């Protein structure tokens, strides 16, 4: 094996390791978003079941909350993306959030598949580099 081939293999391995770390960070972010969507869907179900006024804690930020009473349980304001919001019925919002969660799940699976493909290639490169090291004469 030439030094150039070994250098290319090392460079590719380092690139793959960076890509895998980035993909794993994306997966974690997607999983957090999925959990947030699922919690919102559960909360909407609880609101629907309550049928009337409901006491809730409203996040103010930085771990601070205010107690509030939800007066209307018929409609909520939901982000449609790009800074656009819409007032939707609870059931419509629940369906929208469920659909988004499913989309996030599919994206997470795609990312996980890419990670496994990159990890397989990294293992091939490690085996190659290990063979190159094993074939080198030992210096004593």
Model confidence at 54, in pLDDT bands (50, 70, 90)?
confident
pLDDT tens string 84-113: 999 999 899 999 999 999 999 999 999 999
Do 52 and 68 meet the contact criterion of CB atoms below 8 Å apart? no
- Asked if residue 140 belongs to a domain, the reply is no
- Total domains, the chain: 1
Q: Which of 23-32, 110-119, 127-136 has the lowest mean pLDDT?
A: 127-136
The domain that holds 66 is classified in CATH as 1.10.287.370
CA dist 23 to 14, 96, 118, Å? 14, 26, 10
CA triple 42-43-46, angle to 5 deg? 90
The model carries a pTM of: 0.81
Q: What does the pLDDT read at residue 139?
A: 60
Do 104 and 30 meet the contact criterion of CB atoms below 8 Å apart? yes
CA dist 37 to 40, 42, 89, 96, 118, Å? 5, 9, 17, 10, 29
């Amino acid at each position: 094996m030439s030094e150039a081939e070994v250098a290319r293999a090392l460079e590719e391995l380092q690139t793959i390791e960076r890509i895998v770390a980035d993909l794993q960070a994306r997966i974690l972010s997607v999983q957090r978003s999925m959990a947030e969507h699922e919690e919102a869907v559960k909360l909407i179900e609880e609101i629907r079941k309550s049928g009337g006024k409901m006491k809730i804690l409203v996040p103010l930020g930085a771990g601070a909350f205010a107690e509030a009473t939800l007066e209307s349980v018929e409609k909520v304001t939901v982000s449609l993306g790009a800074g656009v919001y819409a007032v939707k019925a609870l059931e419509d919002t629940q369906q929208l959030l469920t659909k988004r969660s499913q989309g996030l799940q599919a994206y997470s699976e795609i990312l996980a598949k890419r990670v496994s493909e990159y990890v397989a290639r990294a293992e091939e490169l490690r085996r190659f580099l290990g063979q190159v090291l094993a074939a080198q004469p030992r210096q004593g």
